Chains A and B, each alone.
Chain A
Amino acid sequence: MFMHLAQPQTAAHETPPKTISFEIVNLSRRRFVKGASGAAFTLAIAACAPNKPSTVSEAVAPIPDNSAVASGPLVFISIAADGRTQITNPRSEMGQQVITTVAQMIADELEVAWDKLEIKQAVGDAKYGDQNTDGSTSVRNHFKRFRMAGASMRQMLTQAAANEWGVDISECSSELGVIKHSSGKTLTYGDVAAAASQLEVPAEDSVKLKSRKEWRYIGKDQTSFTIPDVIRGKGTYGIDVRVPNMLYAVVARPPTVFGRIKSLNDRAALAVRGVTKVIRLPDPQGEAAAFQQLGGVAVIATDTWAAIQGREALEIEWEAGANGNYDSESYGRQLRATARKSGAVKLKRGDVAAAMEGAAKTVTAEYYAAHLSQSPMEPPSATAQWTDGKVECWACTQNPQAARSTVAAICGIPEEDVTIHVTLLGGGFGRKSKPDFIVEAALIAREAGAPVKVTWTREDDVRHGYFHAVSAQYMQAGLDAAGKPTAMLHRTVFPSINSTFGPADEGSNFELSLGATDAPWAVPNLQVEVGKAKAHIRIGWLRSVANVYHAFANQSFAAELAEAAGQDPKDYLLAMIGSDRQIDLSKDGVTYPNYGASLEEHPIDTARMKAVLNKVADMAKWGRDVPDGHGLGISVHRSFLSYVATAIEVAVDAEGKISFPGIWVAVDAGTVVNPANTKVQMEGGTLYGISNALYGEITAKNGVVEQGNFPDWRVMRINESPHKVEVHIMESDAPPGGVGEPGTPTAAPALANAIFAATGQRLRSLPLLGQNDRLKMTKEG
């Protein structure tokens, strides 16, 4: 078992193993509902004859409607005469073990032995369908088509054996790469691969998927394809790519977004040993930064260190531009002030104002959360090489198709002339779905006339990111005499991710649907409003996106209401979620995107939400007496179609130091392909959430991000980490939900609720600690 990742040294010269390769192209017909409007695309299944080039047009030749096919996802699998089975993995591996998971889905239906599998990493190409490895979609959006591809191929191989024996396919079965006839005769997949490649691909309705009971790999803890390499220093990440005769570059970017160079003196930089060239990058065009390069000056050298030294020696005067006034302190005040005023109504149920009037008690709270940086451990890095007007790039990208189209557009060449090889990613968390760093590599390599690797230093990563939005939220509730909420108002204000791509001065429907408009409250009067906020730095996705701050506010506020009502937070939360039902947001005037999935398949199901909440309460032994200074906090949230509840026990000592005697997570992600890895992702997602909640804070002054490296930009270390995170996966036959992100949103509110339980202090502003090691023990939150 081994894997190929795009390796420039070998890619150019490698002759493929002598295989009779056929490519099964799964173009199965299915309906894909995006948001409220159903956009269907037609797919079918096609197979290429051996040794034919595997271009899209060849592969889809038998399909009548080419336009539909162009957007259709193809799955490439090939089987060699010796039975080796190569899967082309179209998704990006960033530690979520997607290579293993994709292999599980395909190999299960194909009925192939695990040790026969080889993985080839796909380049960025529309023929693979959506490759954007973002939004926890790799399983939930592709579960059926990966299995169909495997099953179709299995059927063709079995048919080929039946033909060879002159028997009916119904008399044949296959198991682990061996096809058996009822008489006892056998042939292997390798024996019949060539014959199978000549067959028509079976119609989808003639292909039978396995029943759950028959699953061999799905639902099992298959071991990772990447870990054995990684622990030997062998995996190739973006930053590790090497191309013969390559040079190394770092870029001095404008400190403010859309800042420009006023003057440049590069004499001292060029005198640094190893520096070969200094070039100016083009300024970004238009009003939106999108995925463009940020401009600035690239220093090219014979090694990375020389490039860094050269950059230090540059004398640049910058013009700050329109974003030069961005100041986090005043901006934060402004956000809070905006949140205190009415905004645009995005969800309206009943009459909140009237119900507040009539309430026995009203409770108000304001929450704040700072900008965050994804800061994957591997900073962005890309290598580009130009040959005859075409460019090949190697990069740690979550989105090779966006990389391809953006590089093509900015370099002014057709997409066909851009190849994006996807390496391993040393973490992504949303940062690497933006290909600006790949654009830089392409531009610099063209100008340098040599292959160039661009490395972002940590300072570059922290200062020039696509930041998680800063946010202010205002919550108000009216309680009746029994303490039951009768009205709730949620106002949220944050610079939108849309501002990175065009004019946008308020949170989008998409962002509101991440934890604001889809809050599960069974309150008769409910209103969600959004306020205006302009962005002055690039705003981008970070693991679980707006769910982070929306769940923080909603789930903290639920606990505050429980306190106001003098009730147990868990029981109160259950009551706020209310009866078992499927929430219909259209009644409240909300067009709910539901993470791109249909509501029939993936309703907002309060029974599942309460089930994880009850489960986690059991795990944490909710209600037990805890030692002095300890406290239990709880929260629950649905995101990316999965339900997660988190309970945290904190201990806060007399000096305000926090530790974690216990953390429990219950997850209902529907059908789970790899349980062991799902647990790992829940652990990782939880700790990522805790790290950001405790320490994460990016601030700007005069348009410039103030943090540069660790520890100004602080992340959790092992001595600050919990020693245990106990995860329970709910048994479920429901269609798969996401796993990579849903562990994060519940972490911050469970933590704040636990701190309240331990200390009586309600903390409403993230980060909780920032640069401090102790909680400030004040009266106010």
Chain B
Amino acid sequence: MAITLKINGKNKSVDAAEGTPLLWVLRDHMGLTGTKFGCGVAQCGACTVHVDGVPIRSCITAHEDVEGSDVTTIEAASGKVADAIRAAWEELAVPQCGYCQAGQIMSAINLLETNKSPTDDDIDNAMSGNICRCATYVRIRAAIKDAAKSV
């Protein structure tokens, strides 16, 4: 049975099996492939999206559970903090392969939206769920701090 989800500000009708994670609804049903699959078990953060502004792992979130909520993906992440994060990411050339970076950015946006000047520990806490196999961690940390300064 089709349900309606609000994705990036638009209502979209989805007809997927009950329990289908939001990740696969976004990627396979809606063609929003910016949100990535890395593990499927909430271990890597590649699939991070915002639900009502809060970062969640879309690989373990049944799509029907976000009915009535606002879902934002990397493609539509915007605002002052998102801009500052992207600018810092570009300035410091954070991404290598880039595959984890949608998730990193979604986690980092939430961090700065809730904490204007995060300490190293705050960064560890907010970002340790996001694996980067290219190990861009040194630059992620620096870019978060730079972005914090510019917001």
Contacts and interface: CB of A to CB of B under 8 A. Distances in A.
The answer to whether A and B belong to the same complex is: yes
Interface of A: 94-97, 223-224, 226-228, 230-237, 239-240, 242, 248, 272-274, 302-306, 308-309, 375-379, 424-429, 455, 457-458, 676-677, 680, 683-684, 687-688, 691, 709-711, 715-719, 721-725
A95 B94 CA distance: 10
Given A233-B34, A304-B37, A718-B123, 16 more contacts: A226-B95, A227-B89, A231-B89, A237-B99, A274-B17, A305-B28, A306-B20, A375-B133, A376-B97, A428-B97, A680-B139, A688-B133, A688-B135, A709-B41, A718-B141, A721-B135
Contacts of B133: 375-377, 427, 429, 688, 715
A424 to B, nearest CB: 7
A716 B128 contact: no
Nearest to B38: A377
B33 A458 contact: no
B54 interface: no
B95 A230 contact: yes
Contacts of A274: 16-17
A272 B18 CA distance: 11
A227 B98 contact: yes
Given A715-B131, A715-B133, A223 B93 contact: yes
Interface of B: 16-17, 20-21, 24-25, 27-29, 31-41, 43-44, 46, 73-75, 86, 89-90, 93-102, 105, 120, 123-125, 127-141
Contact of A239 (B37, B135, B137): B37
B96 A684 contact: yes
Given A95-B98, A426-B98, A228 B34 contact: no
B31 A242 contact: yes
Contacts of B40: 308, 457-458, 709
A-B pairs, top 4 by smallest CB distance, nearest first, are A233-B34, A426-B99, A95-B97, A230-B98
Nearest to A309: B17
A236 B17 contact: no
A684 B136 contact: yes
Nearest to B20: A305
A695 B7 CA distance: 38
A96 B135 contact: no
A427 B99 contact: yes
B74 A233 contact: yes
B138 A711 contact: no
23 contacts: A95-B98, A230-B95, A232-B75, A274-B16, A303-B16, A303-B25, A303-B29, A304-B24, A375-B133, A377-B38, A457-B40, A458-B44, A680-B96, A687-B135, A691-B135, A718-B127, A718-B128, A718-B132, A718-B141, A721-B135, A722-B138, A723-B120, A723-B141
Contact of A233 (B16, B35, B137): B35
Contact of B75 (A228, A233, A709, A719): A233
A96 B24 contact: no
Contact of B99 (A232, A377, A719): A377
A683 B147 CA distance: 21
B44 to A, nearest CB: 6
B33 A240 contact: yes
B45 to A, nearest CB: 10
Contacts of B43: 709-711
B120 to A, nearest CB: 7
A680 B93 contact: yes
Given A227-B90, A303-B28, A377-B99, A684 B141 contact: no
A455 B38 CA distance: 11
Q: Most chain-A Cβ atoms within 10 A of its Cβ — which of B24, B36, B86, B95?
A: B95
B24 A378 contact: no
A304 B28 contact: yes
A240 B33 CA distance: 6
A721 B138 contact: yes
Nearest to B35: A233
A473 B21 CA distance: 47
Q: Most chain-B Cβ atoms within 10 A of its Cβ — which of A248, A274, A426?
A: A426
A94 to B, nearest CB: 5
Contacts of A717: 128-131, 137
B17 A273 contact: yes
A377 B131 contact: yes
Given A303-B28, A305-B21, A231 B101 contact: yes
B124 A234 contact: no
A455 B31 CA distance: 15
A638 B56 CA distance: 44
Contacts of A722: 137-138
Nearest to B107: A718
Nearest to A663: B138
A721 B131 CA distance: 11
Contacts of B99: 237, 376-378, 426-427
Nearest to A237: B99
Contacts of A306: 17, 20
Contacts of B100: 377, 426
A719 B39 contact: no
Contacts of B131: 377, 710, 715, 717
Nearest to B86: A231
Q: Most chain-A Cβ atoms within 10 A of its Cβ — which of B46, B98, B100?
A: B98
A716 B16 contact: no
A558 to B, nearest CB: 26
Contacts of A424: 97-98
B130 A718 contact: yes
Nearest to A686: B135
A95 B140 contact: no
Contacts of B29: 303
A462 B130 CA distance: 18
A187 to B, nearest CB: 36
A719 B44 contact: no
Contacts of A709: 39-41, 43
Nearest to B140: A718
Contacts of B102: 230, 233
Contacts of A227: 89-90, 93-95, 98
Nearest to A275: B17
A650 B46 CA distance: 30
Contacts of A303: 16, 20, 24-25, 28-29
A715 B102 CA distance: 19
Contacts of A457: 40
A718 B124 CA distance: 6
Given A226-B98, A233-B74, A305 B135 contact: no
Q: Most chain-A Cβ atoms within 10 A of its Cβ — which of B16, B24, B31, B37?
A: B37
Contacts of A233: 32-35, 73-75, 102
B134 A427 contact: yes
A274 B75 CA distance: 27
B135 to A, nearest CB: 3
Contact of A716 (B93, B96, B137): B137
A377 B131 CA distance: 8
Contacts of A226: 95, 98
B33 A231 contact: no
A224 B137 CA distance: 19
Contacts of B124: 718-719
A636 to B, nearest CB: 21
Contacts of B24: 303-305
B74 A677 contact: no
Nearest to B33: A240
Contacts of B32: 233
A270 to B, nearest CB: 14
Nearest to A9: B31
Contact of A677 (B21, B93, B127, B129): B93
Contacts of A302: 28
B137 A721 contact: yes
Contacts of B36: 237, 239, 377-378, 426
A375 B37 CA distance: 13
Nearest to A456: B37
A762 B22 CA distance: 48
B149 to A, nearest CB: 17
A379 B59 CA distance: 15
